[in-house]
Amino acid sequence: MEVIPTICPYCGAGCPVGLKIVNGKAVGIEYLSEHLLTHGSLCPKGNAVLELLYHPNRLRTPMVREKNGWKEISWDKALDIASERLLEIREKYGADALGFLSSAKATNEENYLFQKMARLLGTNNVDHCARLCHAPSVVGLRKALGSGTMTNPIPDLVNSRCIFILGSNFAENHPIVSRWVLEAREHGAYIIVADPRYTPTAQLANLYLPLRPGTNIALLNGMMAVILREGLANYQFIAQRTKGFEALKSSLENFSVEKAAEITGLNPADILLAARTYARSEASAIVYCMGITQHATGTDNVLACANLALMCGHLGRPGTGLFPLRGQNNVQGASDMGALADVLPGYVSIEDEERRRVLARLWGREDLPQRPGLTVVEMMEAALEGQIKAMFIMGENPVVSDPCAGDTVKALEKLEFLVVQDLFMTETAQMADLVLPVACWAEKSGSYTSTERRVQWSEKAVEPEGVLSDLEIIGLVGKKIGLWDNVPSPEEVLREINVAIPAYGGITPERLKATAEGLFWPCPDPSHPGTPILYHENFLTPDGKASFYPVAHRPPREEPGPEFPFTLTTGRVIVHYNSGAISRNIPSLSRYAPELWVEINPHDAEKLGLTEGEIVSVSSPRGEVKARVRVNERVIPGLIFLPFHFPGVNFLTLKELDPEARIPAFKVSACRLEKGGT
């Protein structure tokens, strides 16, 4: 028996899982207790990975849609169809009629090659679900600090003396973070959790702040007003390492803790306590997640977090920093690889002609397409309007994950050609013309970048049956189209990444395979040890200084009214994963939560005459979904919660986009509940 180390295919934490292999088959898992992040631990999803590997519903043969249903075809035929149709449509309508959705679950090498294919075909219409979770972090933190990533590794939280958690339910979504927050608490750290819903994460707090949905900026500005008034800011840090402080200061002159309390619905004394504790502690960290980003003010929310950290000088040291927790095993890597409509690999702006041409030459071209592409939601809108004619979707399930998903269905129906690569026949794959079955994480090698910027190698543990890896498919399609001559190995692609992306310069396949802990980018050359903590001396901006960007509270666009009297917020739960395409298929996970439910406060339930367990219809101006009632005090009166792992939930959510990051405002919409159905 042999134990092969792989990286868990679920969330962005990047926990290692050992697969026990006997005669080429995975017979069990083993906990790799040497790993410094996890000490071997795994959440329930990590424990159930073998059920994914050997799932009976996994797709095993390419399929093409014909008049009377699906027809199984050979790989050669399938790849011919994919390449011919893409070329035909490009010929007929131009390259910008093509849209590519890359995958935050695929490896760095697959994402790199996928966006390269799109760009060599002549379009920047390549994006992925980072747009739906942390685009505001990428945009906001890059503006303020120079890099849109987590500043410190997760285990470094143990060095914090105050951990301020906003809009993150890591106890369910990134369970390993709990270990380090609890460890810090036991070393005397003060834990503050701000969340409209009393989540399992809130249970870990010393101070819980149940703010109204969509009022994060008011809370953060209120705290900053306190810190300024009481002289608790780190003026030395502000003077030496930042700019724009005066503008921030004047923007907060007319704001106060009382105003913050009025907007957020919080007790002013609690805001004071949070502000004083965060500012006075020797090392304070901010952990945030989609409760901050999934708003029409997502970028502003992120900037407000950055302002607070900068004002108190809580950056660049152990135990400090900003921790945007990312959702998918490789959403950080897919973004780093440039699978985004507005940037090339390494976050090079498409408008940066010089660096664009450098990359073009590496790819054997004079130049690359110059116009920024369409983002996830914009691509669907363009498809609906008939501008996008063909889409290539690698391992994403927009029919469940897009906001206002009813429009997504219509958009996909209008396409002339849709090819979907996936493990399962997802809701999106069912709408495709061509479905290509892929290898899962254990059936391929490659590197993944965790939310910590930790790049780790995952080794192929078992041989795939009937399926190809995403990398092989992209490689073969690109070869048939004539974009390149050979189908590259993961190692070959990573070596190209070492050249294309300076921060990955020293992250070679050889080094990654030799280390169990991975390497933290930036790691510019093969002798560089990697950079676990960013901004120790300089920020990654051109002048090395960070910037304050004053932001003000704006109420959510959709507020409850007479017709839709409740505020709907959405989120994730422990046993499920994102669109549920995987977790709803895993028996030992889905048995805990087999169907959609809605959480409602006992007061509201009583008013509406709803009882635990009955089916209710939840509707917004955009759609309706049926869910089973769970009455509990996790939600405050007036608020309801739906887990977004189930089809239909996003038929209710708003498509309004953040103006800069183009993320939809998933987290707040108005809705009503009606008794209905069985």
User: Helical H runs in 160-267?
Assistant: 170-173, 175-186, 216-229, 235-241, 245-251, 257-264
> Taking the CB of residue 590, how many other CB atoms lie within 10 A of it?
18
Cβ 162 to other proteins, closest distance in Å? 11
104 vs 171, which CB is nearer to other proteins? 171
Please identify, using beta-carbon distances, which residue of 42 and 331 lies nearer to other proteins.
Answer: 42
Of the two residues 186 and 485, which places its CB atom closer to other proteins in the complex? 186
**Which is closer to other proteins, CB of 11 or CB of 436?**
11
* Rounded distance between C-alpha atoms, residue 475 and residue 301, angstroms: 40
Structural tokens at position 122: 């002549």
Nearer to other proteins, 589 or 665 (CB): 589
- The least distance separating other proteins from the CB of residue 315, rounded to whole angstroms, comes to 24
Residue linked to tokens 């009632």: 629
Q: How far is the CB of 473 from other proteins (least distance, A)?
A: 31
Question: What backbone torsions phi and psi does residue 307 show, to the nearest 5 degrees?
Answer: -55, -45
Select 219 or 654, whichever has its Cβ closest to other proteins: 219
> Please, is 561 exposed, middle or buried when counting C-beta atoms within 10 Å of its C-beta (0-12, 13-18, 19+)?
exposed
Q: How far apart are CA 495 and CA 504, in angstroms?
A: 10
Judge whether 628 and 598 are in contact, CB under 8 Å: yes
Q: How far is the CB of 178 from other proteins (least distance, A)?
A: 5
Residues 6+ away with beta carbon under 8 Å from 499:
362, 505
Secondary element (H or E) of residue 333: helix 331-336
Q: CA 139, 141, 142, 143: dihedral to nearest 10 degrees?
A: 80
> In the bound complex, what is the minimum distance in angstroms from residue 574's beta carbon to other proteins?
5
Task: Give the Cα separation of 384 and 169 in Å (integer).
Answer: 35
Rg (CA), the chain: 24
Nearer to other proteins, 30 or 614 (CB): 30
Closest approach of other proteins to the CB of residue 10, in Å? 12
Q: Least separation, in Å, of the C-beta of 38 and other proteins? A: 8
CB atoms within 10 A of CB 309: 24
Residue type, 402: D
Alpha helix ranges (H) inside 530-654: 587-590, 602-608
Name the β-bridge partners of 474. Answer: none
- As given in the structure block, the two tokens for residue 134 are 């942390």
The runs of H, that is alpha helices, within 502-593 are 509-514, 587-590
User: Among residues 184 and 435, whose Cβ is nearest to other proteins?
Assistant: 184
Residues that bind other proteins (CB under 8 A): 28-31, 33, 38-44, 46-48, 50, 171-172, 175-176, 178-179, 182-183, 186-188, 190, 193, 198, 200-210, 270, 273, 574-575, 588-589, 592, 633
Compare residues 28 and 386 and give the one whose CB is closer to other proteins.
28
Nearer to other proteins, 209 or 306 (CB): 209
Report how far apart, in Å, the C-alpha atoms of 650 and of each of 154, 198, 253, 259 are: 31, 22, 39, 33
Residue 43 Cα distances to 33, 639, 670, angstroms: 14, 29, 33
| Residue 597 bridge partners (DSSP) | 628
Q: Which residue's CB is nearer to other proteins, number 14 or number 140?
A: 14
Return the number of the residue (203 or 250) whose C-beta is nearest other proteins: 203
Q: How many CB atoms lie within 10 A of CB 349?
A: 12
Q: Which is nearer to other proteins, 121 or 204 (CB)?
A: 204
- Tokens for 149? 């990533």
Closest CA to 52 of 547, 613, 461: 461
List the Cα angle 252/309/285 in 5-degree steps: 140
In the complex, least distance from residue 439 CB atom to other proteins, rounded to whole angstroms = 23
Let me know how long the chain is.
678
